[in-house]
Copies of this chain bind each other. A is one copy, B any other.
Amino acid sequence: MKLSTRSRYGLRFMIVLARSFGTGPRLLKEIADTEGLSEKYLGQLVIPLKSAGYISAVRGSRGGYELSVDPSEITPLDVVLLLEGELISHEKAGQDSPGSLKVTTALWDQLLDAVTGVLASVTLKELAGRSIDEEHQSPMFVI
């Protein structure tokens, strides 16, 4: 049960965009560099995020990506579901092989609920806020 790189990279990408929401597009290359991952790979992860309408792209010089939805309207669950496809994939009871066990299905469902709960418990805006706070140690208000 591993979280694929798609979700991890994708979510980090989205949080970076959330941090600079409203200040114009950001370069894929720049984000890939500071996050330490391949520009080409990230370029592919980004496609479904665009098709889903979460981000928009501007080509050419001064271009890049930016959120097209307010970060308070997006949760990690949205991002992960989009990039990961199915969370905790398992055969549904009906499709199961003859002798397979309904109990495991029930357990995976519990798991799905737990995971969904955590991922939907916070918004990109909140995560972005935390990241500015905690990572850069820069005070939010200076009087």
Q: In this complex, what residue of B is CB-closest to A16?
A: B101
Residues of B within 8 Å of A37, CB to CB, are 97
- Give per-residue flags for A109-132: 1 if the beta carbon is below 8 A from chain B beta carbons, else 0: 011001101110110000110110
Do B127 and A119 touch (CB < 8 A)?
Answer: no
A29 CB–B CB distance under 8 Å? no
Known: A15-B104, A117-B114. A97 touches B36 (CB 8 A): yes
Do B36 and A90 touch (CB < 8 A)?
Answer: no
Known: A1-B115, A76-B107. A8 touches B90 (CB 8 A): yes
Q: How many residues of A contact B (CB 8 A)?
A: 49
Known: A8-B90, A80-B1, A107-B122. A101 touches B36 (CB 8 A): no
Residues of B within 8 Å of A107, CB to CB, are 11, 76, 118-119, 122, 127
- Give per-residue flags for A1-22: 1 if the beta carbon is below 8 A from chain B beta carbons, else 0: 1111001100110011000000
| Chain A interface residues toward B at CB < 8 A | 1-4, 7-8, 11-12, 15-16, 33-37, 76, 80, 84, 86-90, 97-104, 106-108, 110-111, 114-115, 117-119, 121-122, 127-128, 130-131, 134-135
7 nearest CB pairs, A to B: A36-B97, A34-B99, A114-B114, A103-B131, A1-B3, A103-B130, A103-B127
